[in-house]
Structure 1
Amino acid sequence: MADEDRRRALAEFLRARRERITPREAGILAGPRRRTPGLRREEVAQLSGVSVTWYTWLEQARDIGVSRQVLASLARALMLGPVEQRHLYALAGELPPEQPDRSGPGPALQRLVDALDPHPAYLLDANWDLVAWNRAEAGLIGDPGRLAPDERNLLRVVFTDPAMRTLLVDWEGQARDLVAQFRADAGERFGDPRAERLIRELSACSPEFTRWWQAHHLADFGSTRREFRHPRVGALTFDYVKLAALEAPGVKLFVCMPHDEPTREKLPALREC
């Protein structure tokens, strides 16, 4: 979206939300001669702590900067819900505010992951934290439940768990590809404090991560094939399928489909590991 179109869309969105709020809802005493539907511009400006002139320019789609602090004030003044807040920040060209951590992905998505057993499956959030997995996935990589919640991150597991270096047949190639995919993914959320914290921590403990991160390679997730050397089940080859969970923004479902018949035959044994 071009900058001018974005400013126009932002102006129209602000105007539409301003006009739908009654003075009573905003805690404002309406006079008897009020004709403006919803709130006036000066009232939104007062509630947001900005000047009337500046807010008027914003609704006129003028080329002015909008800080994250002002966006948060506007969201409160206009009583925006979570979806509307994300839309507001997107129109202003800013990352949405960080959402509070959730205890899980929701019962429906968790049931889906469980129903995919004996195929290994898991859910990653926008920061690649493991937020759900089934029994087969736990049998494949080790139960993420044994880790503290802030350690259940796919990149963190790949780069800090020594067992992953023998489990993945081509650990170096797979790990390097993951870094390139994460860089492309994180680039869409530039400035995200969770991503920046993860990058700092992995750079401090893994020279390989540091080297590959500084190379600035980018990669999309494609049809990925991974070979494993499982300590109990033996050789496994999976084709990875990735799907987005529309009901949970940023959450993606990964399913491991057996590439060959020997891998398919080992699925029940993997689930029991």
Structure 2
Amino acid sequence: MASDRGHGITHRDDVRAAQLSGLLTRRRQTLGLTVEQAARATGLAEHRYSALEEGAGHGIDLGALKRVAGGLGLTGQPRETFLLLASEPDVTPYDLVERRRPSIEELAHIDLMEPNPALITDHAWNLLAANASVARLFTDPAKAPDGERNLVLWLLTERAERRFADIDDVRADAVARVRGALAQIPADAPLQALAGRIAADPLGARLWRSRSPRLPAEASARRLRHPSYGEASVLVTTSRLPGGLQLIVHHAAHLIQSPAPR
């Protein structure tokens, strides 16, 4: 096993360098490029690109590495693998996400989810899009001022308490999700801002301090109170979309389509 403790080089570093070298060499050869041509395509000096292809990626910032990936046409999983291998050890997959707005197709998808309330948030639960059922049942995002369209913060309000019979569990799970996300990317500004606002709210601060051991599921049964159709269990699902987005759907069609109580 190769190891040079005096210089901080470990077998793991050797494996990482070999994987990086193999990935870049295969990609360059697939494109039919020389090292000089690949360097020009990626915007690196030839000696820096050559060192990178030999597995020495450290010292190149993440922005430059993303340009290398673009110059070599790396997308999807190969792009993420390259960036993780070439970047500094403290870089996580969350740092590699290209933040974006919901696409036209995604907006159409949540409209097709009617009458199930469906919404799309960013990685910090800021509401980016919602269908009409969200406004009818929960709150109208269009009427909320900028900076006040956060799902987790809304769950701390009295209006949310009127909508969920099991609001204590809903809130605890939401705060646990934020805490988990912040543990993954502690330097993320939107998550830091959200954590600060939770801590500034007396109820939110109590939930944050409790640190109850929770592993929120991607699908949870909730007790929803509908103003016209009464109380019933609904399934709430969370799906991850590209770009760090989250699709959250309250599957309430069975409740809404049933006869209203007289």
TM-aligned CA deviation for residue 83 of structure 1: 3.9
Which residue number in structure 1 is paired with residue 66 of structure 2?
75
**Contact 1:20-1:38 within 8 A present in 2 as well:** no
The 3-state SS of whatever aligns with 1:181 is helix
**Structure 2 gap segments, 5+ residues each:** 1-11
Q: Superposition pairs for residues 19-168 of structure 1, below 5 Å?
A: 37-39=34-36, 48=44, 52=47, 58-61=52-55, 66=58, 70-76=61-67, 79-80=70-71, 83=75, 86-91=80-85, 92=87, 93=89, 94-95=91-92, 96=95, 99=98, 101-102=100-101, 105-159=102-156, 161-168=157-164
Report the AA paired with residue 110 of structure 1: L
1:197 aligns with 2:188: no
Change (3 A) 1:82 1:47: closer
Which residue number in structure 2 is paired with residue 6 of structure 1?
16
Determine the C-alpha separation between the residues in 1 that align with 2:16 and 2:214.
Answer: 27
Change (3 A) 1:57 1:122: same
Report the AA paired with residue 20 of structure 2: L
The aligned length equals 239
Change (3 A) 1:266 1:101: farther
Which residue number in structure 1 is paired with residue 202 of structure 2?
207
Using the size of structure 2 for normalisation, the TM-score is 0.71
Determine the C-alpha separation between the residues in 2 that align with 1:213 and 1:4.
Answer: 41
The 3-state SS of whatever aligns with 1:201 is helix
Larger mean CA deviation between 225-234 and 92-101 belongs to 92-101
**Structure 1 gap segments, 5+ residues each:** 23-35, 268-273
Determine the C-alpha separation between the residues in 2 that align with 1:87 and 1:166.
Answer: 45
Larger mean CA deviation between 108-117 and 81-90 belongs to 81-90
Report the AA paired with residue 250 of structure 1: G
Which residue number in structure 2 is paired with residue 265 of structure 1?
258
